């Protein structure tokens, strides 16, 4: 069985699909071995945390200037399969300059106590991150996937937006694999500058 969630409106998915039969059916399908995926807003609801866009979108410069501005709305993911238990995802990543937004959202999860070890995952257009049940992953497509995670310890006197670094970008080039989050079966990852 395969389930693919189309793009659309983050806020609609979070409002209409959380804590109802659709969410339960998606969780049940995952437990039975279904393959799941999504594009755009459909990808955004796959992580344990989601930028809910309840007040509209937020741009990277706005998110970094004030991680608590009214547009920085967070919700719980609708699907959140086990390999994405600490993830927050963002799409159209490089094309819409969303690195600042992802870093600020990830930092908010830490400072708000929602997740001590969140992982921000930014996916470019025409790109997919394939993750299996064990957390093994690989990047396919034309773009890259960017990861943002909590540093090993909080930098002294650092503002919230600096709590989540470093960032990494991975493509599907056949180079050395990174030792971050997943252990791919074959070395098909490449680290490129963020």
Domain ranges of the chain: 2-192
> For residues 167 and 149, what is the distance between their CA atoms, to the nearest angstrom?
7
pTM: 0.79
- At 52-85, the pLDDT tens digits run 999 999 999 999 999 999 999 998 878 888 788 8
Secondary structure (3-state) at 115: coil
Task: Look over the chain and give the mean of its residue pLDDT values, rounded to a whole number.
Answer: 77
34 vs 97, 128, 133, 180, CA distance in Å?
Answer: 32, 17, 10, 26
- At 20-44, the pLDDT tens digits run 888 788 888 888 888 888 889 988 9
- At 172-188, the pLDDT tens digits run 554 433 322 222 233 33
> For residues 72 and 90, what is the distance between their CA atoms, to the nearest angstrom?
13
**By the 8 A CB rule, do 120 and 135 touch?**
no
| CATH architecture, domain 2-192 | 3-Layer(aba) Sandwich (3.40)
């Amino acid at each position: 069985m395969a389930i693919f969630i189309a793009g659309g409106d983050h806020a609609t998915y979070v409002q209409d699909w959380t804590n109802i039969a659709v969410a339960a059916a998606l969780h049940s399908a995952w437990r039975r071995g279904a393959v799941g995926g999504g594009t755009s807003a459909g990808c955004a609801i796959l992580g344990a945390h989601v930028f809910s866009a309840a007040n509209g979108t937020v741009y990277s410069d706005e998110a970094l200037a004030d991680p608590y501005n009214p547009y920085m709305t967070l919700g719980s993911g609708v699907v959140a399969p086990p390999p994405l238990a600490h993830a927050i995802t963002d799409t159209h990543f490089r094309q819409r300059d969303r690195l600042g937004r992802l870093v600020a959202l990830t930092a908010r999860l830490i400072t708000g106590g929602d997740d001590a070890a969140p992982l921000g995952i930014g996916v470019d257009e025409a790109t997919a991150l394939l993750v299996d049940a064990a957390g093994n992953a690989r990047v396919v497509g034309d773009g890259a996937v960017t990861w943002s995670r909590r540093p090993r310890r909080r930098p002294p006197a650092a503002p919230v937006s600096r709590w989540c670094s470093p960032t990494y970008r991975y493509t599907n080039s056949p180079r050395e694999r990174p030792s971050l989050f997943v252990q791919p079966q074959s070395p098909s990852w490449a680290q490129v500058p963020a």
